[in-house]
A and B are shown apart, each in its own frame.
Chain A
Amino acid sequence: MTLEELDERGAEERARQEGFKTRVLTCTAAGCTSCGAQKVVEQFRKSVEDRGLTKEVEVVETGCMGLCGEGPLVQILSDETRYSRVDPEAAKRIVDEHLVGGSMVREHRIDPDMPFYARQVRVVLQNCGRIDAEKIEGAIAVGGYTALAKVLTEMKPEEVVEEVRKSGLRGRGGAGYPTGLKWAIVRKAQGEQKFAVCNADEGDPGAFMDRSVLEGDPHRVLEGMAIAGYATGASQGYIYIRAEYPLAIDRLRTAIKQAERLGLLGNRILESSFSFRVDLRIGAGAFVCGEETALMRSILGRRGRPRPRPPYPSEKGLWGMPTLINNVETYANIAPIILRGSAWFASMGTPKSTGTKVFALAGKIRNTGLIEVPMGVPLRQIIDEIGGGTTEGTTFKAAQTGGPSGGCIPAGHLDLPVDYESLQSVGSIMGSGGMIVMDSTSNMVDVAKFFMEFSVDESCGKCVPCRVGTKQIALLLEKLRAKKATIDDLALLEELCVMVKETSLCGLGQSAPNPVLSTLRFFRQEYTDLLKPKLVFEPSDGVA
């Protein structure tokens, strides 16, 4: 395929879509599928056929539409009406009353002015929930692979690296390392072959950003990887994805096959001299395999245990070769940066945290689901406006970001801008985008205990501080919950947390104590309330 053919394909598909009076989109990503979206799609197909509308109405399955707590979600493209909690019954009514009758089904309609939508800025999720994730034409129709075409025809690899550097994009996998800098290092590194890896391991409890992107717009990620390959000199890509994401795996497989067939991946992409293959590697679901050195060992078919860095993967990665590792969302940001320019990207967010960030909003909040906001928005806006505040009759207590590696942000910091540095300044981290909201009913010691037990289970067991230290911290928290801990135990708890943080080998152990340290910092009272007095010498005890 050539650039012209790509454009033609896009135009053809747009014309085909415009041939329909309307298109009915149903989210069949994992969340909505788990509450019956497949039945809804079937019902739409059936009703459309019954009504003889197959020429006028196209029924499309898409990825995540965002408001996951209200699924299954449906969107009617002609007038942008959104429906929530759609069951087959409602689907039939939507066809009968809305598509045929011309009046909306009010009970299921989502308020179009709802701040949940109005406050979001969708860059990564731009196409998510709006295109057919299983047909490459759907992606091409909205400009898919034009960024790849642009770099192959108009840009030198170093220009691509420079553009990404100027955009200020930072890794979305948690640590926030500048992406352009990483690309430059891999580009400079010497090696017979180089690799570009996409980290889709996403193991934090409560996080589903990467899964949603892969289920909703897999081509965006593939395109980002190919551009990275071109920029860094990598000819082989791997997507490391957990086996627990069967739908994302399926959609990726389909996407890779389709892209290869069209010459958008594989040998001589778009008839240029650049070749780039992408293969999937399925992980068995260990959280630690998201850590880059463990991930690489896992790709090589070995046990997923981290090793000390340096050497970094960009110097010595897969088979000892320079290897670029980026997160799903990081790659998903590349195409827009290339198409719309680094200046546009850097204009969003804050000077040090540019662009947008996808969050998985969960917990004691009205609107749970997938959101995307510019970096630096105040937390309050996410909680109160987009999230719609806490559930009836309770008040906001804290938001937990960064999952088992992060910390909580208490109500007193609601005006904190959500960016890398600000979150760090209050002892939390951006993390990969999990955001769990807690209200007045949540007990913070329990929250800390939950995350610590997660880390105990997920520790790979290689280094002593994390293997035994997290276990001992969890035991101390248990002792505390049982009201059997004394002030000495609390001191030991804090000491161990700092020690595990500073001495563990990899990021898992180094960040595992964060939930405890952070809740101790802001909710110390909840810990001290559980203490029991220490047994001491009493001179009069036993005196007759």
Chain B
Amino acid sequence: MATSAKPRVATVWLGGCSGCHMSLLDLDERLIELADRMELVFSPIADVKEYPANVDVALVEGAVSSEEHEHMARLIRTRSRCVVSFGDCATTGNVTALRNRFSVNDLMKRSYVELAPGGPAMPSTVISPLADTARPLHEVIPVDAFLHGCPPTAEEIWFAVDALLQGRIPELPNVYLRYG
């Protein structure tokens, strides 16, 4: 259980390019303020292996693209009070979903055989099997709020995170509604 009174925040990197996380880092000096106001309990930039229990806010970047993503998404949902789709890939599938036009088999062949620089080899153990299609997060689990943009701007992130840390679902003004 949480010992501190600060909101427990997780950021997760599913099928995305990490651009949304980069944009999060674009908060620059505001990151210092954030560090005071929250506890980062899980993140690609924090060395935590398992998604913890009782998370208050989860920012989820990327589409749900593999079996592991799907498993993770469910875990995030049952262990987090508020789940936020973080950026266009989580919200629409976006670039990650470009591959939906091709069969998984063709895709894997293209990536790991035809275009492989260091000798072709199909991955069998290291990479989680891909789902038939990459899907936006809310098609897999209920989502409470959506951040837009590829990636979302630091301003939009700040606006949302500020509200979330005060225990509110952010009501984003229309200027932050931006696809692409």
User: Which A residues form the contact surface with B (CB < 8 A)?
Assistant: 486, 488, 534-543
Contact = CB atoms under 8 A, between A and B. Distances in A.
A544 to B, nearest CB: 8
9 contacts: A488-B142, A535-B77, A535-B142, A538-B79, A542-B50, A542-B52, A542-B53, A542-B75, A542-B78
B18 interface: no
B7 to A, nearest CB: 14
B81 interface: yes
Interface of B: 1, 50-54, 74-75, 77-81, 141-142
Given A542-B52, A543-B54, A537 B1 contact: no
A107 to B, nearest CB: 57
A542 B142 contact: no
A486 B52 CA distance: 26
A534 B53 contact: no
A488 B142 CA distance: 9
Given A535-B77, A541-B78, A541-B79, 9 more contacts: A488-B142, A535-B78, A535-B141, A537-B78, A539-B54, A542-B50, A542-B51, A542-B75, A542-B79
Contacts of A488: 142
A151 to B, nearest CB: 63
A543 B75 CA distance: 12
Contact of A540 (B51, B53, B74): B53
Closest 5 CB pairs of A and B: A542-B53, A541-B78, A543-B53, A535-B77, A538-B78
A68 to B, nearest CB: 45
B80 A537 contact: yes
Nearest to B1: A543
B166 to A, nearest CB: 18
Q: Which of A535, A536, A537, A538 is most buried by chain B, counting CB atoms within 10 A of its CB? A: A537
A534 B142 contact: yes
Contacts of B75: 542
Contacts of B78: 535-538, 541-542
Nearest to B51: A542
Q: Which of A536, A539, A541 has the most CB of B within 10 A?
A: A541
Nearest to A543: B53
Given A541-B53, A541-B79, A535 B1 contact: no
A537 B141 contact: no
A541 B74 CA distance: 11
A184 to B, nearest CB: 53
Contacts of B80: 537
B117 to A, nearest CB: 40
A503 B52 CA distance: 47
Nearest to B55: A537
B134 to A, nearest CB: 17
A397 B142 CA distance: 36
A536 B54 CA distance: 12
Contacts of A541: 53, 78-79
B51 A537 contact: no
A537 B81 contact: yes
Given A488-B142, A543-B1, A536 B53 contact: no
A542 B142 CA distance: 19
A540 B52 CA distance: 11
Contacts of A542: 50-54, 75, 78-79
Contacts of A535: 74, 77-78, 141-142
A213 to B, nearest CB: 49
A79 to B, nearest CB: 67
Contacts of A537: 77-81
Contacts of B1: 543
A235 to B, nearest CB: 55
Nearest to B54: A539
B51 A536 contact: no
A468 to B, nearest CB: 16
Contacts of A536: 77-78, 142
A475 to B, nearest CB: 11
Contacts of A534: 142
B158 to A, nearest CB: 25
A336 to B, nearest CB: 58
A535 B143 CA distance: 10
A535 B70 CA distance: 13
A540 B55 CA distance: 11
B53 A539 contact: yes
Nearest to A544: B53
